[in-house]
Amino acid sequence: MAVRREFNQVGTAPHNHDFIELVVVVAGSALHRVGRSCHRLGPGGVFVINRRRSHAYEETDGLHIANILIREDFFERLHPSIGALPGYHTLFSIGAHSAKASVFESRTHLDEGTLAKVMTYLDAMEAESLRPEAGGGALAEAWLMLIIGAVSRCQPSRQAVATPAATSLGRLLSWLEKDCAKAISIADMAKVAAMSERTLLRRFRQATGQSPLGYLNGLRLRKARRLLENSGRASLTNDDVASRCGFENGNYLARRFRAQFGHAPQAWARIQGRGTG
């Protein structure tokens, strides 16, 4: 991860990056163009540009922005409770793979106090990132988690924007994060998202690049991986892990786990140095 501050940012041509960009508007104004969508930026604005999403700044006026550049795999290491925060998925997940930015557009606005707090966290994160030899990398990640938590908890205001599709799917993803081990059907998901099943299937794939059940299986696999990594010397069978993570049985878990992570569950636990016996 890295921090880049742009003081008096000039207009830019459309461009993209190979990382996720969390942008905080500190001062000034500009038009921000993402695909066919365009909106006005002002102090306290926060938005996320996913990797390879083209965007541009236009009509800049004293624009001061703080860019936090984040590798995609960082989000896989976040504790699942982060994904249950209001606003997390609306900002960080929805639209990651969608070409229809206007359908899933989401941004938020920090009040003056929250903006000051986020900038304090950002200063500390930047300082720690420059001290990798003294454990700064891990501490920089801790400060970044505080930033993500602060912007995800931010309550909507009249300056905040999230389309109905983004809000509904964000609510659904937060629910799935908390309850992925339960038996969940497409009908259950459609009810939480307040959509018909047909609309859910279409919009979910547009927003995430996956089917709803494919996404749910990914959550369950990551839950199984965390369980194995944190099991210490406890002996967990595949059936034990499957029952805790929402899979039908241990054999099905083992097949999906190997396909996703390249190792059988028990082998993965041993590789992590926390053998399950």
Residues 24, 152, single domain; the answer is: yes
Using alpha carbons, list the distances in angstroms from residue 83 to 33, 156, 183, 207. Answer: 27, 17, 19, 16
CB atoms within 10 A of CB 235: 11
> Which residues have C-beta within 8 Å of that of residue 249, sequence separation ≥ 6?
239, 242
Looking at the structure, do residues 136 and 6 belong to the same domain, yes or no? yes
Structure tokens at 177: 């994060």
Helix %, strand %, coil % for the chain, to 5? 50, 20, 30
pLDDT in tens, 53-106: 889 999 999 999 999 999 888 887 777 788 777 678 878 877 544 545 444 555
The pair of structure tokens assigned to 261 is 């992570």
CATH number of the domain enclosing 260: 1.10.10.60
The distance in angstroms from the start CA to the end CA of the chain is 36
Contact (CB, 8 A) for 113 and 150: no
Residue 201 lies in a domain: no
Across residues 102-130, what is the average pLDDT? 83
Based on the fold, state whether residues 27 and 141 are members of the same structural domain.
yes
Give the pLDDT mean for 173-189.
93
Q: In whole angstroms, how far apart are CA 212 and each of 165, 189, 205, 239?
A: 15, 8, 7, 24
Containing structural domain, residue 265: 215-271
pLDDT in tens, 7-57: 999 999 998 888 889 999 999 999 998 877 788 899 999 988 887 788 999
158 has a pLDDT exceeding 50: no
Domain termination site, one of 131, 146, 163: 163
**Listed residue (69, 65, 48) closest to 6, CA to CA:** 65
Joined tokens for residue 153: 């908890």
115 lies in the same domain as 225? no
In a domain, 63, yes or no: yes
Flag whether the pTM goes above 0.85: no
Last residue in a domain, options 102, 128, 163: 163
| In the predicted structure, residue 226 carries a pLDDT above the cut 90 | no
Q: Is residue 85 part of a domain?
A: yes
Residue 189 lies in a domain: no
DSSP 150-163: HHHHPPP-TT-EE-
Q: What is the pLDDT of residues 84-94, one digit of tens each?
A: 776 788 788 77
CATH of the domain at 55: 2.60.120.280
More confident residue, 148 or 157: 148
Into how many domains does the chain fold?
2
